[in-house]
A and B are shown apart, each in its own frame.
Chain A
Amino acid sequence: MSQLIGTGHTRRRGLLQATAAIGGLQLASPFIIKARGETPVKIGFIDPITGSLSALAVTEVESAKWTVEQMNKNGGILGRPVELLIEDSANDTGTGVQKAHKLIERDNVDMILGDVNSGIAYAIMGVTAEKRVFHIVPGGHTDPITGKDCKWNTFRTCNTTAMDAAAMTKTLVSKFGKKWFFVTPDYAYGQTLQANFVRNLEALGGTWQGDMLPIANSDFSATLIKAKGYKPDVLLNLMGGSAQINCMKQFIQFGLNKQMALGGALYEIESVRSVPKEAQSGWFAMEWYWNQPSVPAVKKFVDAISPVLGGKMPTARHWMAYVSLHAARLAAEKAKSLDAVKMAHALEDLELPPEVSLMPGKVRYRAGDHQLMSDIYVGEMHPPGPGGADDLFTIGQTVTGEDAAGPAEATGCKIAWPA
């Protein structure tokens, strides 16, 4: 049963009875929007709550639950209450696709959000496009989701690897120099990220070396010795999750922090929290950060959600789920409908108000590729500062999404609308 965990049996029983009553009819006409009155707006949320990406997924889900709760206090979507149905994709594509079918065919959800794992997000896109269900990918980074494989019904909230690389390159070159060493996870995300960095670096006349390592690598000694020999200006740690943490720890143990600077694309707060103080350093891009004194809406958001998180500060993953859900609400309200085509048209180029975007710039899902043009914060990691345990990052520069992403035509996306 899909459900908000904990409200089990009543919903199931109700559903069983309803399904039994109209079972045959349902089969004959599998997907017809019925008059719904005050029935809730159902949002399906698929994320890898178990498996190696679970830390990030749990954060997104935590924020999604809170956001829906708040939304319901403020009138829901189109005046109707919102019901969130969470499903675990278990970091497995087949399971993710199965859950998408389950949410669409059985639970008749109005829209789908997910997944952190780009591969699963892709696969779910196939299902949602086929079934014509509005879909937002809050946190799967691989480029083709809003590039050559983009779909009319899919929008993405987190950045592309190309955006992160573009935002970081100039800063790293101007601060440290043009001789780089990459430590990169060997799969699509890492490969495209490194390729984007290399292209930008070579355009500026830089040189580089690097190692491609397995996604869950734990021993970095050979690579780090190689890096020591190469004497780069900066080492880019592009690994993710626990591999990134291990690489950081070994970087410190080898004493390399005294010989070269540290940088990369993403170093998410979830990871920074779990490394030793010395490894809380380097220059990275943050997709959202809780401490933005120039944006009053951010403080309001942080003050509201922080007590629910046990006093911790929200991370970029909290923001991704929050923005995605509110974007869906705004799209439905502008379209005055839950029809996927109308909602998708409505969301294109819709400028998100600051209390939704929580950013200083003009933030919108651009029409050309359905990618969110969010601001990117380039800055420095540091051990906890005076602002508390989560005061780990200082924003050096804010790059606008448009500057980082380049023109939509260059992404290879051609949106084909259904007839």
Chain B
Amino acid sequence: MNENFLSRHRQLLIVWALLLTVPFWLPMLGGYTALAGRVVVFALAAMSFNLLLGFTGIMSFGHAAYFGLGAYGCGLFMKFVTASTLLGVLAGTLVGGIAGTLFGLLLVRRRGVYFAMVTIAFGQVCFYIAYKWDEFTGGYDGLRGFARAPIDFGIFKLDIAASNNAFYYFVVAIFGLAVGLQALILKSPFGRTMLAIRENERRARFLGIPIEKHIWLAFSISCFFTALAGSLYALLNNFADPLGLNYIMSGNIVMITVMGGMRTFWGPLVGAVLFVALQDYVSSMTTNWMFFVGLTFVAVVLFFPRGLMGMLQKRAGT
């Protein structure tokens, strides 16, 4: 027990040491800070999705909807209401989260493939709304006309507009808060109940746990965090586009989670590193880069069904 705690602690230290020193070591590996920002945003989306897939045992194929709604919520708020970055992030998170919460009400009685299919359908509904509503969302060309603005904390000003490093640390700070909160949720009795539902839904039901309510709540929480990632994505690009709502994006989120390891807390972060790095490097070398991304996915699923992180943990455990 004690050892387990220690190794977890070590993992935490390694992850944060690496994340906080990115601007120092990434350029030496031929990377650039904006790439790290993208990794962190996708990691947050995948970790939020993993609350559902890895920890509640529910498969959603439409998480791009909440990711994209977060991006549009943030962008539209900053464009039409006020150009405040923090309020934009809040607005995006609320739009995606509330949409997910309401939609979750319709979902909770579905299971397995039906659940997945209904989530895809909702995702595509959002995609087509963003795609067709030209005057408001910018249609296929995407939403522009907003940009991240410096944040004034009173004592000092964080210029996330001009400095890439400042923006990266802003994203990492929000990521830290979000995943800290996720860890607390997982440690709470509610988190334990989520695991119980994953392990054996029928047994949990017989124990008197209101399954539907818990799944709904887990879905809602997952959507809020995914929408938060989406609003950060809008700030990262200074842009929101309908492809962020598309089922392909949902597929990417699933792929990142599964590659990294869906039963582990940090797995999706590892998956995001792998996915974004592969996409970035291989796509510059060959136009057939998707083949290599797909091949890696197939290899991970075949040889490390618990994902890269799951494999590392297993190796450390034995």
Residues of A that sit less than 8 Å from B by CB: 1-3, 5, 8, 12, 15-16, 19-20, 23-24, 26-27, 30, 49-50, 86-88, 90, 92-95, 97-98, 101-102, 105-106, 118-119, 122-123, 126-127, 130, 142, 144, 149, 186-189, 191, 215
Complex interface: chain B residues within 8 A of A20 (CB): 28
Q: Please, how many residues of chain B have a CB less than 8 angstroms from a CB on the other chain?
A: 45
Number of A-B contacts defined by CB within 8 Å: 126
State in angstroms the CA–CA spacing of A195 and B59 once bound together. 43
Complex interface: chain B residues within 8 A of A122 (CB): 141-142, 144, 239
State in angstroms the CA–CA spacing of A172 and B28 once bound together. 59
Q: Which of A3, A23, A149 contacts B285 (CB 8 A)?
A: A3
The listed residue with most B CB atoms (<10 A of its CB), out of A2, A26, A87, is A2
Contact A88 to B141, CB < 8 A, known contacts A94-B237, A191-B134: no
Interface contact B141-A27, CB-CB below 8 Å: no
State in angstroms the CA–CA spacing of A94 and B145 once bound together. 16
Judge whether B305 is part of the interface by a CB distance below 8 angstroms. Answer: no
State in angstroms the CA–CA spacing of A244 and B316 once bound together. 57
Cβ-closest chain B residue relative to A190: B140
Judge whether B117 is part of the interface by a CB distance below 8 angstroms. Answer: no
Complex interface: chain A residues within 8 A of B34 (CB): 98, 101-102, 105
State in angstroms the CA–CA spacing of A418 and B164 once bound together. 20
When A and B form their complex, which 4 residue pairs have the shortest distance between CB atoms, in order from nearest? Answer: A187-B140, A101-B34, A106-B32, A93-B241
Complex interface: chain A residues within 8 A of B237 (CB): 93-94, 97, 123, 126
Interface string of B176-189 (1 = CB under 8 A from A): 00000000000000
Complex interface: chain B residues within 8 A of A16 (CB): 28-30
Judge whether B35 is part of the interface by a CB distance below 8 angstroms. Answer: yes
Interface contact A94-B241, CB-CB below 8 Å: yes
Interface contact A12-B30, CB-CB below 8 Å: yes
Interface contact B239-A105, CB-CB below 8 Å: no
Interface contact A93-B27, CB-CB below 8 Å: no
Interface contact B239-A186, CB-CB below 8 Å: no
From residue 118 to 170 of chain B, which have CB atoms closer than 8 A to chain A?
131-132, 134, 138-142, 144-145, 147, 161, 163-165
Interface contact A27-B27, CB-CB below 8 Å: yes
Complex interface: chain A residues within 8 A of B290 (CB): 50, 90
CB distance from B133 to the nearest CB of A (A): 11
Q: Which of B139, B233, B286 contacts A187 (CB 8 A)?
A: B139
Q: Which of A105, A119, A127 contacts B32 (CB 8 A)?
A: A105
Interface string of B44-86 (1 = CB under 8 A from A): 0000000000000000000000000000000000000000000
Interface string of B14-50 (1 = CB under 8 A from A): 0000000001100111111111001000000000000
CB distance from B176 to the nearest CB of A (A): 22
Starting from the known contacts A20-B28, A93-B142, A106-B27, 19 additional A-B residue pairs (CB-CB under 8 Å) come to: A1-B284, A3-B284, A19-B28, A50-B289, A86-B284, A87-B284, A88-B287, A92-B243, A93-B241, A94-B241, A94-B244, A106-B31, A119-B241, A123-B144, A126-B147, A187-B141, A188-B140, A188-B141, A191-B139
Complex interface: chain B residues within 8 A of A3 (CB): 284-285
Interface string of B302-315 (1 = CB under 8 A from A): 00000000000000
